[in-house]
Chain A
Amino acid sequence: MAVIAIGDFVGVAKDTVEHFHGNQLVYVGWDKHLMFYAPMCLCVPPAMRFRDLVAGPVAEVYAAHPQWAQIDWSRAVWLRSGEPFTPDPERSLAENGIGHKESLRLRTPGLDGIGGSGT
């Protein structure tokens, strides 16, 4: 039994994709940039292009960091569920294998936060 209970109990997942009105959740974090205290939680359409995710809701938050404008995108590395992967910016989240509640992390080698402090 996957829960200690006085009777039979089956948990019903609260956050499955059908609750989000056609959208899905994606989490995006930027390693070594803790001016943003936690990865952000976004709710976006699965058909959104990866490029538009980054240029839209992600940039809207991260552009507040002085190093955002300095990113060399040819050297930036993305992680999906903790594993490096190469997204196709012109393809959709779904086509990039970014499903509901996927965790994305951006690594920008050489840019380690303000003064290299991880901020």
Chain B
Amino acid sequence: MDMKVKKKLALKEKFALMTRGLAWETSYEPMEAVYPQMAYEGLRIHNWDAWEDPFRMTMDAYWKYQAEKERKLYAIIDAFAQNNGHLGVTDARYINALKIFLSAVPMLEYNAHRGFARLGREMRGVGPQIACQMQAIDELRHAQTQIHSLSNYNRFYNGFHDWKHMSDRVWYLSVPKSFFEDACTCGPFEFIIAISFSFEYVLTNLVFMPFISGAAYNGDLGAMTFGFSAQSDEARHMTLGLEVIKFMLEQDPANLPIIQRWIDKWTWRGVRLLTIVAMLMDYMLPKRIMSWKEAWELYFEENGMALFNDLARYGIKLPDCTELIRKEKDHLSHQAWNAFYTAGMMTNFHTWIPTPEEMDWLASKYPDSFDQYYRPRFEHYRELEKAGKRFYNTSLPQLCQVCQIPMLFTEGDDPTQIAYRQVTHQGDKYHFCSDYCRDIFTHEPDKYVEAWLPAHQIFMGNCFNPGDDPSAAGFDPKKSVLDYWHIAFGRDNMDFEGSEDQKNFAAWRDQATRN
């Protein structure tokens, strides 16, 4: 890139003019009426002028650099598609990670766009307003670039065809969907702590650094380029998250307990959401840079601790859930893959048993857990598969009322025992995967009693294919639900072994290397 550098106003001066200089105090309406969402969460803000903008990015510079990012991204995506780059990925199994990505992530990005657009209007200070407006545009860009990049795979592989429909309906996709709907229905301050701080600052490095670098390692230029292009905005978002925390804490000591509770809640919500990323990294990348556990140690335990050490001067403590998270890092990815492998009848992607070499790699990365608890499971499945009885669990799972993940997590100190937590609220029982999801519920039960839990909705009869009659003879509820999700039975779901994707990829790759 070759950009002209002109003599101009000093950066700080220009930034002040182009942000604070554009704001005004209202005269014929009270400011409280113009910004009606600033009070109800109980946070006390005395002086919006104390807001420090870490990046001095003005709107003109923003558009210039974003346009440059887009040009680079689309040049790479076009080249990747034009040159049949999909045949250069390590192994067609990898493409299944992209199916999960497409059906889960653009929807998150789009909801982030909506959330930040609201904050761009509702935040009273002009500094955070502008940062939120930029972020709203960024998030929309992320959704669009992800959809564009992955649409190329839809031309060749199954399961990509109706991600938007699936995002709103398929059982496991209620996990990311409900995560963001929870955030978007919070007040503006909780939303920004949830997304900018807990999710972006503390956790997104785990998604976009090891996983997207992993995509590059597996030859996927398309995912690499949208991933890193999105992450380049993320650095600005993370910095906003850190500034928000400091600003709120410095405004009034009474804000501390409110913010601590939000950090505790959203760190936990985010970690639960990342369960699926743990699985993507350890089981779905044919070539792996690092294990989920190593990534966790690097990006959360090392970098995250630096952050919490810094915030200690305000009285912020490490969330209590950190101790359980530390114990779960040896188990998370294996338990998730066990769930998806056995639930492989109900997925919009293929699943498989790790190869013997992959199991050895897992054992080397997880010396305290894999051989003892998980290898026996996968070897048993392999025996069943060899006998022509590939194991599918077709029952519907019990779900956690808050994170909506099936109750698959084990007790911190006993990886053979599922963790059960329950409370009774207004005469009804509610179930949770952990103390932390339970505590989120008991703090705001009126919110979480309204959770749309897929297993329950199916039993209510709300998830059958329109037109199917459940009372008709020969009605097959499972088939009707798959039809409702737009998952083509035998083509999009079940094992990778024998799938159309496997056959096509092998045939096309063969053509690509010989006449």
Interface residues of A (CB under 8 A from B): 1-6, 9-16, 19-21, 23, 25, 27, 29, 31-32, 34-43, 57, 61, 64, 81-82, 99-103, 105, 112-115, 117-119
Contact = CB atoms under 8 A, between A and B. Distances in A.
B187 A6 contact: yes
Nearest to A115: B376
B416 A118 contact: yes
Given A32-B417, A118-B416, A12 B450 contact: yes
B441 to A, nearest CB: 10
Contacts of B376: 113-115, 117, 119
A38 B397 contact: yes
A67 B445 CA distance: 40
A2 B42 CA distance: 14
B339 interface: yes
Contacts of B450: 11-14
B420 A38 contact: no
- For the side of the interface on B, what is the size category? 35 or more
A103 B451 contact: no
Contacts of B455: 41
Contacts, number: 155
B342 A101 contact: no
A93 to B, nearest CB: 14
B140 to A, nearest CB: 25
Given A37-B342, A37-B406, A23 B422 contact: no
Contacts of A16: 428
A3 B304 CA distance: 30
Nearest to B41: A4
A2 B444 contact: yes
B416 A112 contact: yes
A32 B416 contact: yes
Contacts of A1: 446
A41 B399 contact: yes
B397 A39 contact: yes
Interface in B27-67: 36-37, 40-42
28 contacts: A1-B446, A2-B444, A2-B446, A3-B446, A9-B446, A13-B426, A14-B451, A15-B428, A25-B459, A29-B418, A32-B416, A36-B393, A36-B395, A37-B343, A37-B397, A38-B397, A38-B398, A38-B406, A38-B408, A41-B455, A57-B395, A82-B422, A101-B428, A101-B429, A101-B431, A105-B420, A114-B377, A117-B376
